Structures are given as C-alpha cells and as structure tokens.
Amino acid sequence: MKSGQMFWGFFLLTLGALFLLVKYDVIVSSFEFVWDLWPLIFVFWGAMVMSKQSVARPIINGFFGIFLAVLIFGFLNNLFGGFSFEFDSNDAYAEEYKQEYDSAIKVANLQIDAGAGLFFISDTTSNLVDAKARGILGEYDFSCDETDSIANIDFHMHTKNFNLFKNKVRNQLNIRLNPRVAWDFDINLGASKSKFDLSKFDVRNLSLETGATSTYIKFGDRSDDTTVDIQMGAASLTLEIPKGVGAEIDSDMALIAKHFDGFSKKGDGYYVTDNFESSKKKIKINVEGGVSSFNIYRY
C-alpha cells in the first residue's frame, strides 16, 4: 500500500471513530492536552523525510494520520465542543446511595472503581455519604462496612445492557461527604471528566489512577498532612492548594505542559513552595504519567 493511502486511510478512520465515540459518550474526556502536542507535527515530518526511501515510510505515515486526526478533532472539540454536565429528560435511569453517620466513625476510606463518565465530589452532608448516579451506565454496587471507628465505603460500577444507537452511554456520579471525619480516597477511573472539591474535608490520603481524563481537585487546610499519589495517561490535571499550606511535588511525566504557581524547582521533577519547611500543614504530591497538562494554583 502506498504511503499516501496509509496516511489518508488512518486519518479518516480515526477522525470518524472519534466523532462517533464522542457523540455516543463512549469517550467522555477532555482534549485539552492537544494544545501542547502540536510540535510533534515537526517530529513526524522529519521522520517522513528521513524514511523517504525506507519500508518504514508507510507505517510512519499511518501513525501520522492517526496523530493528525486526534489533533484536529481535539482542536475542534476544545473550540466548539465540550461536555455538558446536565442530563435531559430522556435520562430516566437514576440511583441514590446513602449511609447514615455514626458519631463513633472518625476515619472513612472511600473507594471508587469506575470506567468512563463524569464524577463529582461537590458538597457536604449530615450523613456519612450521599450519592446519586445517573445515566445508562450509572449503576453501582455500593457497600459500607463500619468497624470500630473506621468506615470503608465502596462504589463499584457495573454496566447495564444498552443500545448504542438509541441511548448515549452516559454515566454521572455525584457524591457528598460528611466533614466531621478524616478521609482517605482510592479512586480508579477510565476516560472521564472529574471535579473533586475537597476543600471542606480533612483529607489524609488521595490515590487517583486514571486514563484519558480532565481532572480538577481542590484541597483545603483542614489536614496537617496530606499525601497525594496520582497516576494518569493522556490527561489534563489541575490542582488548587491554599497558600498557607506548604506543598511539594515529585513528578515523573513525559511531554508535560505545566504551571506550578508559587513553587520553586529544586531538582529533576521536584518542586516545593517557599513555606514548605516552616508550615504546620503540608501536602505532598506525587504524579506519574504520559502526555499531560499539569497545573497547580494557590488560593
């Protein structure tokens, strides 16, 4: 097959697949990362020039077609698209989950294991946890085990039967938590868009493993020590941290676009705030991943 045919074939297949998958919400993700990938055009261009007489030329052209389709689709999606956080009247499926608060509970471990969707931790509740899931895929196995002063809360998503061409594959989970307990989070998500406002909670540990996502997390100053461990793929990550909290970042990321407000670089992938040593409240952030956009703002 000729090089030009490989390029246009993979380009059109990828572009068509992306439009279809996003239309039916099979892909529920941000494409903000494409703003930082455009220099790879020159890498592929150079590779094609060097492999002009090589048997590898059609393969390189094929990968260039896929890359350019993702780039163009991402630009269009960022400029004119986006994702709606509301569900219309046709989204009839909904489930509510609730666990009453016991004053004996001092620490709660929240585990979320889900695939594609929209995920929010947005407010407080007088219960230990309140949650609502909506959408065709929005059905979870929910459990809460309480032992002495510790509660283990688990949300595990499982799929329902659906018709791809009659229903959108939507999934939204909105969680409210009790601010009287200390929280540990263990979150494993697929392609998703997440907004976690944790500023009202005592967050001891947060572990987040996610794929192609757009993730926003806001921390407060209620905990003396917070440990954050994030592993992500092609993603956009935004963190907000109070100015009065000392913070350090230990990152190992490839092709990363970053902005760390109020941090100074101390080593390869290592950044700290000026008040890290003197502050009584600290947050330690470890981030690993691939092609990503990583921003931290102080408020």
Determine the pLDDT at residue 166: 46
- Tens digits of residue pLDDT in 133-154: 876 555 788 999 999 999 999 9
For residue 158, give every residue at least 6 positions away whose Cβ sits within 8 Å of its Cβ, in sequence order, or none. 139, 140, 141
Q: Is residue 85 part of a domain?
A: no
- The answer to whether residues 112 and 219 belong to one domain is yes
- The answer to whether residues 184 and 244 belong to one domain is yes
Q: Is residue 206 part of a domain?
A: yes
Specify the residue for token string 């794929």: 211
- The answer to whether residues 256 and 124 belong to one domain is yes
- The answer to whether residues 10 and 115 belong to one domain is no
- The answer to whether residues 53 and 190 belong to one domain is no
Q: What is the Cα–Cα distance from 17 to 15, expressed in whole angstroms?
A: 5
Asked whether 190 and 113 are in contact (CB, 8 A), the reply is no
The amino acid at 105:
I
- The answer to whether residues 140 and 267 belong to one domain is yes
Residue 264 CB burial class (10 angstroms; 0-12, 13-18, ≥19): exposed
Q: What is the Cα–Cα distance from 36 to 14, expressed in whole angstroms?
A: 20
Q: What is the Cα–Cα distance from 72 to 222, expressed in whole angstroms?
A: 43
- The answer to whether residues 134 and 66 belong to one domain is no
Beta strands in the chain, from DSSP E residues, in sequence order: 94-99, 107-113, 117-124, 129-134, 140-147, 150-157, 172-177, 182-189, 192-198, 202-210, 213-219, 225-232, 235-241, 246-253, 256-260, 263-267, 270-273, 282-289, 292-298
Q: Looking at residue 39, what DSSP letter applies?
A: T
The amino acid at 101:
Y
- Tens digits of residue pLDDT in 11-63: 999 988 888 777 665 665 667 667 667 788 888 888 888 887 777 888 888 89
- The answer to whether residues 144 and 8 belong to one domain is no
- The answer to whether residues 110 and 170 belong to one domain is yes
What is the bridge-based pairing of β-strands 107-113 and 150-157? parallel
Average pLDDT over residues 258-263: 91
pTM comes to 0.72
